[in-house]
Amino acid sequence: MSYSPEDAAWDEAYESMSREMYPEHKEQAIAEFTSERLRSYYVAHPEVLVPAARAFKEAKVLHANGHHSAALVFAASATELFLKSSLLRPVVYGLVHNESLAELVVTAALSQTGFMRYEKLLAKLFVELAGVELTTLRRQPEAKPLLREAADIQELRNTVIHQGQAITPEQAQHGIDVSTAVFNQMLAAVLSNLGLSLEKGGRLVTNEF
């Protein structure tokens, strides 16, 4: 995926916003965003993962019925929803203390496609909440880093949508496998540390001890 002048403009605007909100360093945002605040967001929005779970289920059904290109598209969408809507959105939302501005800032901050532009933020978040370095996460020892695989699947999804590229059964399964790993290795780890789990259909519930 090329890096356009529009991408550069968004990056500059994001950096400017970060400096204004956190004059010393934007990584301070993660330290300030405690597990309690993130957990509070999830408790208040128990259906935040439902769209991702729905897209993931649709990907598996499409793949099983031989619609591999469509399956890849839904698998990539599920992965994007797991990462951006279910992890990054609660963080960005929690950093904006003015409720009337929160949704606007969230939409602007997360409107750009691609995962790698959020790699540093995700890495800090993951260390803070799961105690694991994001760069160590791989589906298999010989595989690329998980976030890089997710970005590759997203790029492949774009060729399906914009160029009509046909997807093989193996490529569709790979997309589903990556989405599965993103949930199991990233999102589920964070939710578990926050004392949360999923019901059937993707609704969040509080674990009872």
Q: How far apart are CA 94 and CA 194, in angstroms?
A: 16
Q: What is the pLDDT of residue 160?
A: 97
Q: Are 204 and 85 in contact (CB under 8 A)?
A: no
pLDDT digits (tens, 9 = 90+) for 128-176: 777 778 788 899 888 899 989 999 999 999 999 999 999 999 999 999 9
Work out the mean pLDDT of the chain and round it to a whole number: 81
Q: How many C-beta neighbours within 10 Å does residue 152 have?
A: 17
Give the pLDDT band of residue 103 (cuts 50, 70, 90): low
The pLDDT score that the predictor gives to residue 32 is 53
> Could you tell me which of 200, 201, 183 has the C-alpha nearest to residue 192?
183
HSE-up (13 A, CA, CB side) for residue 3: 7
| pLDDT reported for residue 40 | 86
**pTM for the full model?**
0.78
Q: What is the DSSP letter of 194?
A: T
